[in-house]
Each structure stands twice: as structure tokens, then as C-alpha cells.
Amino acid sequence: MSDLSKPLYSLTVGEYIDLSKQVFSNEAEKLINNYHKNPAHNNSVSDIIFIDEVKEITGYKESTIYSKVCRFEMPVISKRRPLTFSRKDIVNWLKDGKPSVIDKEANDYLRRT
């Protein structure tokens, strides 16, 4: 497709498919080049995790995690389904000896007042 002044509505189906492939290829190449130029994004791990990853980190069963969340014993971002956790909060919770979340929040509140 060498005629760039040709209006889009006058393209044949084959010309349109070729043009779409070319545009897609160019955009994909840009994304790949940006990905390789910026290695900081290559190893980034999302802080938002779900119950399967929490099971791997803690070694708890799914039912145990649900009960700990209901009793405010485990930090959670969202109690709706699917449960949403912060990887950083879970790791810190394990490092701190698994303190009750409600006790920590109460202590934080009392310190602020």
C-alpha cells in the first residue's frame, strides 16, 4: 500500500487487513523496545495479590485465611470476593509475629488521639 493519500473508506478488504497488520506490527515493536529499554518494569512485582498467592506465602489453607480475615487477624485490602491483599502487608504481618489487625489499628488510633 504505497498511496498514503487514499481515503480509508476506499480500501479493499485485503488492503485494510495489510494496513492493520502493519500498524499492529509497528505498535508491538514500539512496546517491545520500550520494555527492553526500561528494565525497572521487567522485575516489578505487583503489591496486590489474591488468595492463591497468600496461601503460598503463609502456608495456610483457604478456609483458614477466610476465617482469619473475618476475625480481623490478618491484614486485607478488600473483604469482597475475590479477597484482595497487599503483599507487603502480609509479609510484614508474618515478620511481626502475626499480630491481630484490630489490636494494631486500635493502638494506632490511641496514639493519634
Q: From CA 12, how far away is CA 106, in angstroms rounded?
A: 68
Q: From CA 95, how far away is CA 7, in angstroms rounded?
A: 63
* Statement: residue 67 has pLDDT above 70: yes
pLDDT at 40 (0 to 100): 54
Extract the C-alpha cell encoding 45: 512485582
Q: From CA 23, how far away is CA 78, in angstroms rounded?
A: 40
pLDDT at 34 (0 to 100): 73
State the chain's maximal CA–CA distance in angstroms: 72
Helix, coil or strand: residue 32: helix
Summarize pLDDT for 18-38 with one digit per residue, the tens. Answer: 888 888 788 878 777 776 676
Summarize pLDDT for 72-89 with one digit per residue, the tens. Answer: 889 999 888 889 999 999
